[in-house]
Amino acid sequence: MANKTKQEWRETTLASALKRAAERQDKFETSSGLEIDTVYTPEDLVNFDYTRDLGYPGGYPFTRGVQANMYRGRMWTIRQYAGFGTAEETNQRYRYLLEQGQTGLSIAFDLPTQIGYDSDHPLAKGEVGKVGVAIDSLRDMEVLFQDIPLEKVSTSMTINATAPILLAMYIALGKKQGVEPAKLNGTTQNDVLKEYIARGTHIFPPRPSMRLTTDIFAYCAEQVPRWNTISISGYHIREAGSTAAQEIGFTLANGIAYVQAAIDAGLHVDTFAPRLSFFFNSHINFFEEIAKFRAARRLWAKIMRDRFGAKESRSWMLRFHTQTAGYSLTAQQPHNNIVRTALEALAATLGGTQSLHTNSFDEAYAPPSEEAVTIAVRTQQILGYESDIAAVVDPLGGSYYIEHLTNSLEKEAGEYISKIDSIGGAVAAIEQGYQQREIQDSSYRYQKEIESGNRTVVGVNKFVSPYPKIVGLLRVKPEVEKRQRERTAQVRKDRDTGNVNRALKRLEDVARSKDNTMPAFLECVEAYATVGEICDVLRKTLATQKEFLVF
């Protein structure tokens, strides 16, 4: 006799199965510790309303995707984050990646570039070209994009505190190549709030930083209309140890802070909101991640329409880039990372990502070698072109489990946003260390779960076996620092010092005023002022910010 309800089934069919054999674990949980039931049924979706909760792809609330036909029209963009050493070496890697069928570039800058020090600054010692490419002046950008026409590529730049400078360089480079700003495509990460929370490359205090952020919104709305002015990032929040719900809750709360700051600066929401973009992590928790992407889209659509009164459909859309989880990579049995990455990439595509970076298997050791990055690119191509997952939109939509998880993640993330609202918004919460503390608690719990064996990491705490050492790891040679310093010294010699000083003075004046800073940044970079020189002016006028350390 068939069971009529889940409860009845639980008491009869399931109970007798459990009597015969207990389950492998006492309980099964999501990354935020919510218990996962044995099975999901229509009873778990009692108030489910298709039109209200899902709708059709390309329409509000975009749960099923931002485009009507998703990957049937345009495949997601394969966008590998890359950069190391000098501009020459990175230029070679970019050209290699484009030859392999990559469709967008993503610049990894070294830490001195991100934190506003030139390669010859004492604090840059040992860091030049290590985690990304060293860019001191426009000259380096010219080398970086040698033989890469800017009208043919879209370029994402992981740059935050120094975002206006690097964006100005990209615009200046376009002009030199004969590409007008209106034709440039790409993204500046430009999300400093998550730097205070999780990533640590902030320079200035939050409020003046937000002003630089919104200056980019305003400038691009007029001059660089196809530019994604910001990539509001949950990726690093998750890498720092948050749960999936915290990732979207904290990220969307940061998004709210940026939108509010732009409105407060006098911008109309529908002029800048369509150019906001997001960046999420795809972790190893497969179904939860798919649900997370869907929940984030629905929640943002509601926030933009109902909280901010945006009228344009494009303002409601959450478009996002995804990177597979660096944290899930293991140094042990490193080839297993290829499989982890494939699974995470699958979740990202089933979740409707617009672009994707797949990690390389050797990244628990070093930036990826050419062999490793090729496998990572091929992983995406197998998913996109060999399997048939790209043929249908949101194939898991309507799954009782996925819809239930989407609902519960949206609810949980919404609660974090309410909590942050009650503290006074994302900036106030960061200053009090709220997000940092929450993330630290989650990451500690995660570590304890691994150490107690409650969470399995293959090759680390289970199925441990000897593994061969990876050969061919990428090493950034110490000569790189020397060569880069020499180039910057040469730039300083060749340029017109009077021009540089005038441009820096104008930037200082503009930074002290309420005017948009972007034209002044453009003038500085075109005079070949360096990132470090420009940041020295800003450190003086905007002040600097120490880490909001909670420990």
Chosen residue from 199, 275, 283, 321 binding another protein by CB under 8 A: 199
Give whichever of 127 and 344 is closer to another protein, judged by the CB atom: 127
Residue 322 CA, chain-centre distance (Å), reads 6
Which candidate, 29, 58, 135, 125, places its Cα nearest to that of 90? 135
Helices (H) and strands (E) in the chain, counts: 22, 10
| 100 makes contact with another protein (CB under 8 A) | no
Which of residues 89, 127, 289, 533 is near another protein by CB under 8 A?
A: 127
For residues 453 to 492, the per-residue mask of contacts with another protein, x marking binding by CB under 8 A and - elsewhere, is ----x--xx-------x---x-xx-x--------------
Question: Which region among 22-30, 112-120, 182-190, 483-491 touches another protein (by CB under 8 A)?
Answer: 112-120
Q: Are 397 and 54 in contact (CB under 8 A)?
A: yes
Query: To the nearest whole angstrom, how small is the minimum distance from the Cβ of residue 126 to another protein?
Result: 3
Taking the complex as a whole, how short is the minimal distance between the CB of residue 273 and another protein, in angstroms?
A: 29
Return the number of the residue (126 or 149) whose C-beta is nearest another protein. Answer: 126
Interface of this chain with another protein, residues 225 to 264, rule: CB under 8 A = 239-241
Question: Residue 90: exposed, middle, or buried by beta-carbon count in 10 A (0-12, 13-18, 19+)?
Answer: buried
- Angstrom CA distances, 220 to 113, 131, 214, stand at 22, 28, 10
Question: CB burial class (10 A; 0-12, 13-18, 19+) of residue 219?
Answer: buried
Q: Which is nearer to another protein, 265 or 458 (CB)?
A: 458
Q: By CB under 8 A, what part of segment 362-381 binds another protein?
A: 364-367
Question: Using the rule CB under 8 A, is 131 a contact of another protein?
Answer: yes
Figure out which of the listed residues 447, 456, 490, 501 binds another protein, where binding follows CB under 8 A. Answer: 447
Element (H, E) at 525: helix 518-526
195 binds another protein (CB under 8 A): yes
Give the shortest CB-156-to-another protein separation in angstroms: 19
Query: What H or E segment, with its residue span, contains residue 263?
Result: helix 244-264
Q: Residue 264: which of 514, 541, 544 has the closest Cα?
A: 514
One of 80, 154, 190, 201 touching another protein (CB under 8 A): 201
Nearer to another protein, 50 or 463 (CB): 463
Q: Cβ of residue 400: shortest distance to another protein, in angstroms?
A: 34
Residues 532-551 that bind another protein (CB under 8 A): 546-547, 549, 551
Question: Does 215 help bind another protein (rule: CB under 8 A)?
Answer: no
Q: Minimum CB separation from another protein for residue 230, in Å?
A: 19
DSSP letters of 106-161?
EEPBPHHHHHT--TTSGGGTTTTTSSSB---SHHHHHHHTTT--TTT-EEEE--ST
- Applying CB under 8 A, which part among 167-175, 248-256, 440-448, 485-493 lies near another protein? 440-448
In angstroms, the CA 2 to CA 8 distance is 10
Binds another protein (CB under 8 A): choice among 75, 111, 230, 504: 111
- Tokens 């719900």 locate to 245
SS3 content of the chain, % helix, strand, coil (to 5): 55, 10, 40
**Of the two residues 161 and 290, which places its CB atom closer to another protein in the complex?**
161
Q: Report in angstroms how near the CB of residue 472 gets to another protein at its nearest.
A: 12
Q: How far is the CB of 5 from another protein (least distance, A)?
A: 44
Q: Which is nearer to another protein, 186 or 368 (CB)?
A: 368
Cβ–Cβ under 8 Å, residues 474 and 366: yes
Q: Which of 110-118, 170-178, 207-215, 317-325 is the region at the interface with another protein (rule: CB under 8 A)? A: 110-118
Q: Give 48 or 548: the residue with its C-beta nearer to another protein.
A: 548
Strand order across the beta sheet in which 355-357 lies: 77-78, 355-357, 320-324, 276-282, 230-233
Structure tokens at 314: 């494009």
Restricted to residues 327-346, the positions that interact with another protein (CB under 8 A) are 327, 329-332
Closer to another protein by CB, 143 or 470: give it. Answer: 470
| 311-330 binders of another protein (CB under 8 A) | 327, 329-330
| Cβ-based nearer residue to another protein, 77 or 337 | 337
- Please, which residue, 215 or 239, has the CB nearer to another protein? 239
Cα dihedral sign, 457-463-465-469: negative
Q: 18 or 123: whose CB is closer to another protein? A: 123
What's the distance, Cα to Cα, between the start and end of the chain in Å? 58
Burial 466-483 (b: 16+ CB within 10 A, else e): eeeebeeebebeeebbeb
How far is residue 405's CA from residue 31's CA, in Å, rounded to a whole number? 12
Minimum distance, C-beta of residue 17 to another protein, in the bound complex (Å): 35
CB of 363 to another protein, least distance (A): 8
Q: Which is nearer to another protein, 66 or 538 (CB)?
A: 538
Closest of 271, 207, 183, 197 to residue 234, by C-alpha: 197
Q: Which residues of 165-204 are buried (b: 16+ CB within 10 A; e: fewer)?
A: bbbbbbbbbbeeeebebeebbbbbbbbbbbbbbbbebbbb
State in angstroms the smallest separation of the CB of 323 from another protein. Answer: 15
Select 16 or 465, whichever has its Cβ closest to another protein: 465
Binding residues for another protein, per CB under 8 A? Answer: 111-112, 114-115, 117, 123-127, 130-131, 195, 199-201, 239-241, 327, 329-332, 364-367, 440, 443-444, 447, 450-451, 457, 460-461, 469, 473, 475-476, 478, 546-547, 549, 551
